[in-house]
Chains A and B, each alone.
Chain A
Amino acid sequence: MKTIAISGKGGAGKSTISALIIRWLKDQEMGPILAVDADSNVNLNDLLGVEIEESVGAIREEMKRSAHKLPGGMTKQAFLEYKIHASLKETRDFDLIAMGRPEGPGCYCYANNLLRDIMKNLSDNYSFIVIDNEAGMEHLSRRTTQNIDHLVLVSDPSARGIRAAARISKLLKELDTRIGEKLFVLNRVKKHIPDVLGKVIDEEGLHLFSSIPEDDTLLQMDQSGKPIWKIAEDSPAYQAVHHMMQKLLKREKNGV
């Protein structure tokens, strides 16, 4: 089981890249894949062209709210596990789970402790876990998502986006989450990377792993509400993700 997490500033294209990675893994027949939507602002499910009925966050709230009126005799562990498995959106190519909105006030130690165990057991059933993370990385800091083998830090071609990626990278060092490697990816690149951005990248101590070109196909799909899941294989963004993933998996094979 390998975990790939995608993070970066809001609007950098995390969900798009997540969806492209999932699609690529499916095309390579590397499944089963578990897609985790851990960004409550954007909906990965729309990009993948599926509906989601209930999120983990909502289930957690429900459990907390009705703590003393759970279905009789059922422990909270059993209840939560049942509900989470039931919330999983299943397709032929991947399963999707939505983490939902962040925590409200009150104590979450107990609920998150249960959640960690359940998520861990669930993850063991898949070859790849792809996590679309929100910028704040709440699920990582609460350790409700798994350790990560490859963290893809995405930025749009802006100084602010690059700095945000660098900040996330530093922040993660302080967390108790094990991260295999961090890969910096620049998204929506027009032809070439302007020198001024190259300088910011260097200043922040980042190393460019891959760049994804600006792709009109994506824009058009977005405008017409067509899920990115259906993208044509010859589109430039898909091709770029293809090269990125090949490189990523090859590095892994070589034990980098």
Chain B
Amino acid sequence: MSKLIATKAIRGAHALVKRAEEELHLAIQQKGPETKVEFPNTGYYLPVSHGILGLHIQTLEGLQDLLDEAKKLLPALPTDKLWVPYLGNTLDAGMATLFADEIIEAIKYTQDPPPYLIEANPDEEHLWIGAADDIIMRERGIEFVDGTAPGFAACVGYCPTNEMAVKIARELQEKNLYVFMSAATDGKSMAQQLREEGIQMGWDTRLVPFGDDVTATIHSLGFATRAALSFGGAQPGDYQRILRYNKNRIFAFVLALGPVDDEKHAQAAGAINFGFPTIADTDIDQILPSGICTYEHVVSPVPLEKIVSKAIEVRGLKINITKVPIPIPYGPAFQGERIRKEDMHVELAGQFQPGFEFLTTKDMSEVDDGKIDVFGPEIEDVEEGVQIPLGIWVEVAGREMQPDFEPILERQIHDFINCANGVFHMGQRDINWVRISKEAKAKGFIFHHFGTILHAKIHGEFGKIADKVQVQIYTREKEIVELRELARKVYKQRDDRLADMTDEAVDTFYSCTLCQSFAPNHVCIITPERSGLCGAYNWLDGKAAFKINPTGPNQPVKKGKVLDADKGQWKDINDFVFQNSHKTLEIFNAYSIIEYPMTSCGCFECISGLLPSTNGIMIVYRDYTEMTPSGMKFSTLAGAVGGGVQTPGFIGHSKQYIGSQKFISADGGAKRIVWMNKALKEEMAPVLTEIGKLEGVEDFIDKIADETDAITEEEVLEHISKKNHPALAMPPLF
């Protein structure tokens, strides 16, 4: 990051801490140290200092402790000559700023009357309403947790025109975001602009004018801190959890509108601590690398027309509107919650009871939208602590619905049910596992609500393809075991269809750069017919990993123009590999061992290598430590083949790839295999026999040598000549 922006933020922090000190000194002199300080009607004291430091400040004197903490954090200003890493210092300066803000805002409330209207909405005379009280917090905070409101935009400064201010406010409202406004610049603020245009403001319209002072920005972060304390289960003083909760759960960001001075830079630094990035329309220094925030930290200049969509992108916000009508809170915040046995009312399916989840397509006339039936005992019929079976059968109808979508929708059952607070879900298909907490039951959650959730979410997320949804919930073993058999038949058909998927059938492959930490120039390209060389990732895993983590090591790569169909070369794949191998690899063939073969990190399950005199290749598995006919042991081969370099004549690959139709298909395919280590040969025997049959080679397995037949290339040649191996009759390899 740039020294310039760090310097500005640190300078701003110094100014604000100094101001806090002066104002506190003055206030104590005038009003006495015992004077009460509080934000009105809250049990969270001064929320940021209470949450982050665990302080219980109630008097002016108590603010002194907070001031001391702020001073402790305040880093020295970077000097002209000193170049050090700045992010840590900037974050500290940001936190010091927030503490100073809170001191200054708290002192304001000791004035009589306070400069803020203590109401949920502004009135004719008073625009600024200051800190939210606990009633607002409880009403509004839950919306952040259940996803009704994904987060907030803290808007500082003003827009060039009132019209633009209104447009931005509307755009944010449409995304269900709260708009928190503070910090006027040169006496102009977004809230005043909205007022001039006659826009209704207040908590009711989600357009909240906190205050014109730069320090009023603290009320945004105070709100965020209280959300973590009351909904995130964080204890006062557990700053890590509070900050992490905000980063992961509250999709907030700062919009810096108009000129950004030192003190606003300092506020931005404070927000970064919470994982909230800043997006500015003026040209300020950027902090692009990710680290604290999910993506970039400070992005500018962004034209005002695009600032909302840019902010949403930078914060990684996903808009999700559907409200699920169940008596327990629902939202992504509750994913990953484990219900402990101690807290559990009932366990369904899992390791001790049968279960399944199944989604199928029906004709439009057969589905009664929203119909949910429970066959077997409901939750009130089962005793606390018992384990019972569970079958979930979902029927979907839609003009755009296709059987191909069934598994995709079915896999979502896990995510959908897991979002309910007090419901734990694991697995899928016939190894599902659910727990319901005592608390969820007490609040009125019943088995019927599984159907309610699935109906609402399938409509909400797959509205394009699903027009009607009905759900049957089974909690009796008899039906479950019968229906599970039906479902299993379909699971198998789906798997077979997947197994038959070809590289030609898709237009996108997935990259894997997980191993670039030690092989910086290596890129795996995973195709349906060539899994990752470590054997861990197949194409579907790559696809799923990308869905889970869109900025992770698995990225979708379009194939683009076919350059060579036989060798497996595509224009866009070449471009991607070139960029991501740090411009070391220009060309790459997916199906050849001879010409521009794929590189390896070092994690390969197997290495294939040419044995020139035999007109074929050998394959060795990584567990085999003895000498191979290539004259090298696996470890030596690995050194030559790994590290992201192209080594014509050698490739690293997964076991699975040996059975693929695309296994070195440009060079003649599996028929080229003349030697394998015995253990690998035996494991792969069923697959190789199958290939032999297809290729019209009898006893193919018998024709392939292993270490009991041959350990030198000469011996291999001798063996295959005797057995009349098909490789001998094939065209020369090079």
Chain A interface residues (CB < 8 Å from chain B): 1, 32, 64, 67-68, 71-78, 81-82, 85-86, 88, 90, 92, 95, 105-107, 109-111, 113, 121-122, 124-125, 253, 255
B295 within 8 A of A: no
For the complex of A and B, the 9 pairs showing the least CB-CB separation, nearest first, are A107-B603, A110-B536, A121-B336, A90-B341, A72-B495, A75-B544, A82-B427, A82-B426, A125-B338
Q: From residue A66, how far is it (CB to closest CB) to chain B in Å?
A: 11
Query: What is the chain A residue whose CB lies nearest that of B623?
Result: A105
B537 within 8 A of A: yes
8 Å CB interface, B526-564 against A = 531, 534-538, 540-541, 544-545, 548
A90, A110, A122: most-surrounded residue (chain B CB, <10 A): A110
Among candidates B53, B341, B602, residue contacting A107 with C-beta atoms closer than 8 Å: B602
Is there contact, CB below 8 Å, between B429 and A85?
Answer: no
In the bound complex, CA of A255 to CA of B427 (Å)? 41
B494 within 8 A of A: yes
Among candidates B54, B337, B428, B536, residue contacting A73 with C-beta atoms closer than 8 Å: B428
Determine the chain B residues whose CB is within 8 A of the CB of A95 once the complex forms: 340
Determine the chain B residues whose CB is within 8 A of the CB of A81 once the complex forms: 426
In the bound complex, CA of A170 to CA of B453 (Å)? 52
Determine the chain A residues whose CB is within 8 A of the CB of B602 once the complex forms: 107
A76 touching B427 in the complex, CB below 8 Å, given contacts A85-B338, A122-B338, A124-B336: no
B139 within 8 A of A: no
In the bound complex, CA of A105 to CA of B351 (Å)? 31
Determine the chain B residues whose CB is within 8 A of the CB of A82 once the complex forms: 426-427, 431, 433
A110 touching B433 in the complex, CB below 8 Å, given contacts A73-B411, A255-B53: no
Q: From residue B657, how far is it (CB to closest CB) to chain A in Å?
A: 10
In the bound complex, CA of A255 to CA of B53 (Å)? 8
B429, B430, B534, B605: most-surrounded residue (chain A CB, <10 A): B534
Is there contact, CB below 8 Å, between A86 and B433?
Answer: yes
In the bound complex, CA of A46 to CA of B515 (Å)? 38
Is there contact, CB below 8 Å, between B492 and A90?
Answer: no
In the bound complex, CA of A107 to CA of B54 (Å)? 44
Determine the chain B residues whose CB is within 8 A of the CB of A107 once the complex forms: 515, 534, 536, 602-603
Query: What is the chain A residue whose CB lies nearest that of B518?
Result: A109
Query: What is the chain A residue whose CB lies nearest that of B336?
Result: A121
Q: From residue A114, how far is it (CB to closest CB) to chain B in Å?
A: 9
Given pairs A72-B492, A74-B431, A105-B623, 8 additional interface contacts (CB within 8 A): A71-B429, A73-B428, A73-B491, A75-B541, A88-B338, A106-B603, A110-B537, A113-B514
Is there contact, CB below 8 Å, between B514 and A110?
Answer: yes
A75 touching B540 in the complex, CB below 8 Å, given contacts A107-B534, A107-B603, A109-B515: yes
In the bound complex, CA of A90 to CA of B514 (Å)? 34
Show 24 A/B contacts (Cβ-Cβ < 8 Å), sorted by A.
A1-B238, A67-B535, A67-B536, A71-B430, A72-B429, A72-B491, A72-B492, A72-B494, A73-B411, A73-B428, A75-B540, A75-B541, A77-B545, A85-B338, A86-B350, A107-B534, A109-B517, A109-B534, A110-B514, A110-B536, A111-B536, A122-B336, A125-B337, A255-B53
In the bound complex, CA of A144 to CA of B336 (Å)? 17
In the bound complex, CA of A90 to CA of B535 (Å)? 33
Is there contact, CB below 8 Å, between A73 and B495?
Answer: yes
In the bound complex, CA of A90 to CA of B430 (Å)? 24
Is there contact, CB below 8 Å, between A86 and B429?
Answer: no
Q: From residue B558, how far is it (CB to closest CB) to chain A in Å?
A: 22
Q: Bits for B136-155, please: 1 = Cβ < 8 Å to A, else 0.
A: 00000000000000000000
Is there contact, CB below 8 Å, between B495 and A86?
Answer: no
Determine the chain B residues whose CB is within 8 A of the CB of A121 once the complex forms: 336
B459 within 8 A of A: no
B53, B342, B655: most-surrounded residue (chain A CB, <10 A): B342
Q: From residue A255, how far is it (CB to closest CB) to chain B in Å?
A: 7
Determine the chain A residues whose CB is within 8 A of the CB of B338 once the complex forms: 85, 88, 122, 125
Determine the chain A residues whose CB is within 8 A of the CB of B622 once the complex forms: 105-106
Determine the chain B residues whose CB is within 8 A of the CB of A64 once the complex forms: 535-536
Determine the chain B residues whose CB is within 8 A of the CB of A124 once the complex forms: 336
B656 within 8 A of A: yes
Q: From residue B652, how far is it (CB to closest CB) to chain A in Å?
A: 11
In the bound complex, CA of A27 to CA of B431 (Å)? 37
In the bound complex, CA of A74 to CA of B342 (Å)? 29
In the bound complex, CA of A74 to CA of B544 (Å)? 10
Chain B interface residues (CB < 8 Å from chain A): 53-54, 237-238, 241, 336-338, 340-342, 350-351, 407, 411, 414, 426-431, 433, 491-492, 494-495, 498, 514-515, 517, 531, 534-538, 540-541, 544-545, 548, 602-603, 605, 622-623, 655-656
Q: From residue A148, how far is it (CB to closest CB) to chain B in Å?
A: 12
Is there contact, CB below 8 Å, between A32 and B428?
Answer: no
In the bound complex, CA of A122 to CA of B426 (Å)? 13
Determine the chain A residues whose CB is within 8 A of the CB of B342 once the complex forms: 32, 90, 92
Query: What is the chain B residue whose CB lies nearest that of A92?
Result: B342
Query: What is the chain B residue whose CB lies nearest that of A93?
Result: B342
Among candidates B340, B428, B431, B540, residue contacting A90 with C-beta atoms closer than 8 Å: B340
Determine the chain A residues whose CB is within 8 A of the CB of B544 once the complex forms: 75, 77
In the bound complex, CA of A113 to CA of B537 (Å)? 12
Is there contact, CB below 8 Å, between A73 and B407?
Answer: yes
Determine the chain B residues whose CB is within 8 A of the CB of A78 once the complex forms: 414, 426-428
A74 touching B429 in the complex, CB below 8 Å, given contacts A110-B534, A122-B338, A125-B337: yes
Determine the chain B residues whose CB is within 8 A of the CB of A67 once the complex forms: 535-536
Q: From residue A140, how far is it (CB to closest CB) to chain B in Å?
A: 17
Determine the chain B residues whose CB is within 8 A of the CB of A76 once the complex forms: 536, 541
Q: From residue A143, how far is it (CB to closest CB) to chain B in Å?
A: 12
In the bound complex, CA of A75 to CA of B498 (Å)? 13
Among candidates B336, B351, B428, B603, residue contacting A109 with C-beta atoms closer than 8 Å: B603
Q: From residue B245, how far is it (CB to closest CB) to chain A in Å?
A: 9
In the bound complex, CA of A75 to CA of B53 (Å)? 41
In the bound complex, CA of A85 to CA of B602 (Å)? 31
In the bound complex, CA of A106 to CA of B431 (Å)? 29
Q: From residue A86, how far is it (CB to closest CB) to chain B in Å?
A: 6
Query: What is the chain B residue whose CB lies nearest that of A120?
Result: B336
Query: What is the chain A residue whose CB lies nearest that of B337?
Result: A125
Q: From residue B620, how far is it (CB to closest CB) to chain A in Å?
A: 14
A73, A122, A255: most-surrounded residue (chain B CB, <10 A): A73
Is there contact, CB below 8 Å, between A1 and B540?
Answer: no
Q: From residue A115, how far is it (CB to closest CB) to chain B in Å?
A: 12
Query: What is the chain A residue whose CB lies nearest that of B544?
Result: A75
A78, A85, A86, A109: most-surrounded residue (chain B CB, <10 A): A109
Query: What is the chain B residue whose CB lies nearest that of A90?
Result: B341
In the bound complex, CA of A71 to CA of B429 (Å)? 9
Q: From residue A25, how far is it (CB to closest CB) to chain B in Å?
A: 15
A73 touching B623 in the complex, CB below 8 Å, given contacts A78-B414, A78-B427, A110-B536: no
Determine the chain A residues whose CB is within 8 A of the CB of B655 once the complex forms: 68
Query: What is the chain A residue whose CB lies nearest that of B548?
Result: A77
Q: From residue A161, how far is it (CB to closest CB) to chain B in Å?
A: 32
B338, B494, B517, B537: most-surrounded residue (chain A CB, <10 A): B338
In the bound complex, CA of A243 to CA of B25 (Å)? 41
Determine the chain A residues whose CB is within 8 A of the CB of B407 once the complex forms: 73
A73 touching B433 in the complex, CB below 8 Å, given contacts A78-B427, A110-B514: no
In the bound complex, CA of A1 to CA of B233 (Å)? 10
In the bound complex, CA of A122 to CA of B337 (Å)? 7
In the bound complex, CA of A107 to CA of B534 (Å)? 7
Determine the chain A residues whose CB is within 8 A of the CB of B430 once the complex forms: 71
Query: What is the chain A residue whose CB lies nearest that of B514?
Result: A109
Q: From residue A96, how far is it (CB to closest CB) to chain B in Å?
A: 12
In the bound complex, CA of A189 to CA of B531 (Å)? 57
Is there contact, CB below 8 Å, between B340 and A86?
Answer: no
Is there contact, CB below 8 Å, between B534 and A73?
Answer: no
Q: From residue A39, how far is it (CB to closest CB) to chain B in Å?
A: 24
Query: What is the chain A residue whose CB lies nearest that of B435?
Result: A85
A64, A75, A86: most-surrounded residue (chain B CB, <10 A): A75
Q: From residue B520, how far is it (CB to closest CB) to chain A in Å?
A: 14
